[in-house]
Structure formats: C-alpha cells, structure tokens
Amino acid sequence: MDIVVAYDSALAYWRTVGPRWLRGYQQRDQATRRARRSLAKGDRPKLAGGNRRPAGCTLPIQVLVAGVEARTRTSSVLSHVWPDLPDRSLVDAGEGFFVSTPEFCFVQMASQLKIAQLVQLGFELCGTYAMSSEGPAQQREAPLTSTAKLSAFVKANPHIRGCKQARRALNHVKDGAASPMEAVLAMLLCLPYRRGGYGLEWPMLNYRIDVPPSKRKMADRGYCKGDLCWPERHLCLEYDSELYHADAERRDSDARRRGTLIALDYAVVTVTTGQVMDSGAFNRLAHQIAKLLGKRLRYEDPQFTRSHLALREELFAALGMARASQQGRSSEMGSDSVESDAN
C-alpha cells in the first residue's frame, strides 16, 4: 500500500536526504495524483515487515489519511486526517512512500509550532543547513525551498489547515542563512518588539559583495559574503562560530575576508556565541548595531524584556542549546536600554 509521509517525519526526511530529491513540477503533480487515488481507498496505513520507512524517519512515522475511517495510532504509525491534498504537494520517495514537499511540510508544522519556532523552521528550509537531533547542524549544498516558493504555496492554498499561521510567519522568514545561529541572530535583532526582537531592518543573509577592479590590490579575492549584511549601510555582522571557525585555517580565512570587507569600506562587527547567549551582552550589541544603522530603539520595559527573554528561550530550545544565561541580566537590560517613547 502507498503511504503519505507528513509533519515531523517529512521534515526528518528532508533534513536527511537534502535537495537532490526535490523533484520537478511534473513529477510532483504525478505523485500527488497517485497518492490521492491511493488515499481514496480508505485503507489504514501500516508499515511493511521490519518497519521499513524513508530515510531519517523514526517511529512512529507520521502519515496522512483521507478520512476518520482510516485513522491509525500504533507504535509504528500515527495518522493525521487530511481530506484533500493540495496540488503538487508530494514527491515519490520510492517503495510506496510519498513525502510532503518542504512547502507542504512548512504549512503542516504551522499547526504544531509557536510562531517564532515556525519562523526559525522557515529560515532552515530556505537556508543551507539542516538541523540534526544527533549533533550540530549539517551544511547542505542548496536550500530546500525559498520564501517565494513558500509564499506561492500558501497563496495557492489559503484555506488549508495551518495556512493562516504560515502566512504570519512568512512575514519574517528570509532566504540565505548558512547556520542556525545566523537565523537566531537575525530574528533576535529584527523581529518586531511585540515578538521580542529589537525591530531593526532585516539584513541580507550571506550577501555576495563583489570587489571592484579599483580595489583588487587591497583584497585577496574577487568577492566575499557577509553573514548578516546591510548593503545600503555598508555594515556587516559576522558570526564567529566556535564550532565551524575553530581551526587555524578557517580563522585565517575569516580574518582575510573581514579585511576585504573593511577594504570595501564596510563596517564589520563580530559577534561570538557568548555574546548571543548572554542577554545583557546581546542587548549592548543590539544598541551598537542600531546606532550603526541610524535607528533609535524605542521600546518599553518591562514588557519588552519579558518578550525578549521568552523569544530567546524558544529559539535556543529549538536548537537544543542550554538556556541562555539570564539570571541577573534582565535588570541589566532594563536599566540602560529603554528609550522612553515606546513603539
């Protein structure tokens, strides 16, 4: 029998196999039509001998069924009723398995995640990294989708479950993140005050900056990329990861890249994991970035501090990181960071 993989199981599949199995428009259309015919039979899904299942999927595998009569809840299968599959929403994973596309998966997860965590997932799907339950995030060669594709899917299916929440989240999702911490940095700095961010303008992520011929003598490369970049302000925020930048060769490369950015008249601000995890240090960083962007922070405490600390806890929990150091720091945030005229 055919099985339609969805929700966390579909997400785990895509995190494992990456973009090479995305398939094209026609293949998605064929897979979805075939799955509709299969689900219309009303059979209860069950795994074959040995609980054979797609790559990355753990038990119980989450699947879709067309009606309540096919509902299943066992140690190996957990079903969700979904009467009408959206057009081109599945790919054929082989051996009788269809998997929800990254776009369909994003909408499914919208009914299970808080808004900030859904935005975080959007950054991952539109970025070049994959979260892993077994260790650090893994780099991948290309994104699974884009903000344009996610938005197009939501627009084409406005009435399906999760679309309203997905639409809200997409207001804050950006393309191009190369690591989960880049996404967290962007969200903490740029989400609106009411969601716990500092309300700064959104940067371009891993923005390519070409070196003009007139400055080639001052640079050792033809172009470089800024982690978080505000091109119009000639400002780059560089995340100094302890995980990926620990070896001497990588540190040397990062130093030369920053030198190139400075030669191109960019202001370069480096942020470490310690600064991100320490709410007081991050508050000072946010004020520094705001000043360089020419923005005056206008939020009101204690409401903002509560929202910001809650956002931090959500984002770091999704990364599987220890809770950010907050003891004795909320007062530090509140005492020197408040501009009186709140937004």
**Could you please report the per-residue DSSP string of 162-215?**
THHHHHHHHTT--S---SHHHHHHHHHHHS-GGGTS--PPPPEEEEEEEPPGGG
- The whole-number pLDDT of residue 245 equals 47
Q: Give pTM, 2 decimals.
A: 0.92
* Top-confidence residue, 245 or 291: 291
* Top-confidence residue, 249 or 324: 249
Of 73-77, 174-178, 253-257, where does mean pLDDT reach its minimum? Answer: 253-257
Q: What is the mean pLDDT of residues 17-43?
A: 97
**Residue for token pair 């990329």:** 225
- The whole-number pLDDT of residue 220 equals 78
Strand partners, 79: 63
Residues 150/123, Cβ–Cβ less than 8 Å: no
Query: What confidence category does residue 182 fall into, taking pLDDT thresholds of 50, 70 and 90?
Result: very high
**CA distances from residue 316 to 188, 243, 321 in whole angstroms, order as listed:** 11, 16, 5
Residue 46 scores a pLDDT above 50: yes
Gap between the Cα atoms of 183 and 202, Å rounded: 11
- SS3 of residue 132 by DSSP: coil
Residues 276/241, Cβ–Cβ less than 8 Å: no
Query: What confidence category does residue 342 fall into, taking pLDDT thresholds of 50, 70 and 90?
Result: very low
Two structure tokens written together for 34: 């075939």
- Give the single-character DSSP code of 31: H
- The whole-number pLDDT of residue 293 equals 98
163-173 residue pLDDT tens: 999 999 999 99
CA 197 to chain centre: 16
- The whole-number pLDDT of residue 301 equals 94
Percent pLDDT > 70 in the chain is 91
Residues 188/197, Cβ–Cβ less than 8 Å: yes
Strands annotated E in 66-117: 77-81, 90-94, 97-100
For residue 263, give every residue at least 6 positions away whose Cβ sits within 8 Å of its Cβ, in sequence order, or none: 211, 215, 218, 219
Query: What confidence category does residue 327 fall into, taking pLDDT thresholds of 50, 70 and 90?
Result: very low
Query: What confidence category does residue 241 fall into, taking pLDDT thresholds of 50, 70 and 90?
Result: confident
Query: For 44, how many CA atoms within 13 A lie in the half-sphere containing its CB?
Result: 10
Query: What confidence category does residue 83 fall into, taking pLDDT thresholds of 50, 70 and 90?
Result: very high
245-276 residue pLDDT tens: 456 667 777 788 888 899 899 999 999 999 99
Helix residue ranges per DSSP H, 40-114 = 102-109
Q: What is the mean pLDDT of residues 90-103?
A: 97
